[in-house]
Structure 1
Amino acid sequence: MKPKIDSTSFGSITVEGKAFEHDILIRLDGRVEKRTKKLSKALYGTSHKISLEEAEHIYEEGTEKIIMGTGQTGFVELSDEAEAFFRKKRCSIELLPTPWAIERWNELEGRIVAMFHVTC
């Protein structure tokens, strides 16, 4: 079941009434997990650029679309390798500032995974 995202503010996101004070990943089955941003930070020194390794962690077989909340002001971006990986999997991706990504997540249906960065 796809959970509804209630709101976000700098440093937090609320999903189905539960507040998280860290970046999150929402899986195809609706599970909410803490984002494993160390996968990107180890390579780039920042979690604002999604590495191939993190892209492989985000993607689940059968995912048709990924919604990526790029932060309150939109700092997160994909590496070229991550973008190529999603393209190879024929998985479309939408990168939007987190407040807009939440709106998009709540309106979409289908086999969708999401990652939301809650700062910057």
Structure 2
Amino acid sequence: MHIENYSFGTITVDGKVYERDLIIFPDKIKSGWWRKEGHSLLTEDLDEVLRYKPEVLIVGRGASNCMEITSATQRALSEKNIKLFESDTYKAVQLFNELTRQGKNVVGAFHLTC
């Protein structure tokens, strides 16, 4: 999967435009991803990612880094040996594309707005 463009509220992946938060797996996209507590990323929000066990999880925390990742979520990822990279969504998109080009087993979870 390749992210062609991101701007506030919209992301284009492999030619398809999405306007809701999403998780990009190597073989599928989960669109309409929403967290139980909105701007807090809880462990249960990533159940499918934890089952998938990627080498790396990239989290785009929004254009202004509004989404917080709880310490419990960070611990759960660490316990599964999943490396976490988090940043604003603009930088997260760049890193996602770079690591997928390198052939890494990467999942990206992207908050598209604030």
Question: Hey, what does 2:93 align to over in structure 1?
Answer: 102
State the aligned residue count. Answer: 111
Letter in 1 for 2:41: I
- CA-CA distance at 1:23 after TM superposition: 0.4
**TM-score, scaled relative to structure 1:** 0.85
> Could you tell me how far apart the structure 2 residues matched to 1:110 and 1:62 are?
12
> Could you tell me how far apart the structure 1 residues matched to 2:26 and 2:3 are?
15
Could you give the per-residue CA deviations for residues 13-72 of structure 1, whole angstroms, max 9, x where no partner exists? 11111110000101132x11114314x22xxxxx21111211223323331110011101
Q: Please give the secondary structure, in 2, of the residue aligned with 1:60.
A: helix
1:93 to 78, 84, 88: 84
> Superposition RMSD on alpha carbons, in Å?
1.4
The answer on whether the counterparts of 1:28 and 1:63 sit within 8 Å (CA) in structure 2 is no
Please list every run of 5 or more consecutive structure 2 residues that lacks an aligned counterpart in the other structure.
none
Structure 2 residue 10 is matched with structure 1 residue 15? no
**TM-score, scaled relative to structure 2:** 0.89
> Could you tell me how far apart the structure 2 residues matched to 1:18 and 1:113 are?
18
Structure 2 residue 58 is matched with structure 1 residue 64? no
Runs of 4+ aligned structure 1 residues displaced above 3 Å come to: none
Question: Hey, what does 1:5 align to over in structure 2?
Answer: 3
Question: Hey, what does 2:65 align to over in structure 1?
Answer: 74
> How high is the sequence identity, in percent, across the aligned residues?
28
Q: Please give the secondary structure, in 2, of the residue aligned with 1:59.
A: helix
Question: Hey, what does 2:113 align to over in structure 1?
Answer: 119
Larger deviation, residues 100-109 vs 56-65: 56-65
The answer on whether the counterparts of 1:63 and 1:111 sit within 8 Å (CA) in structure 2 is yes
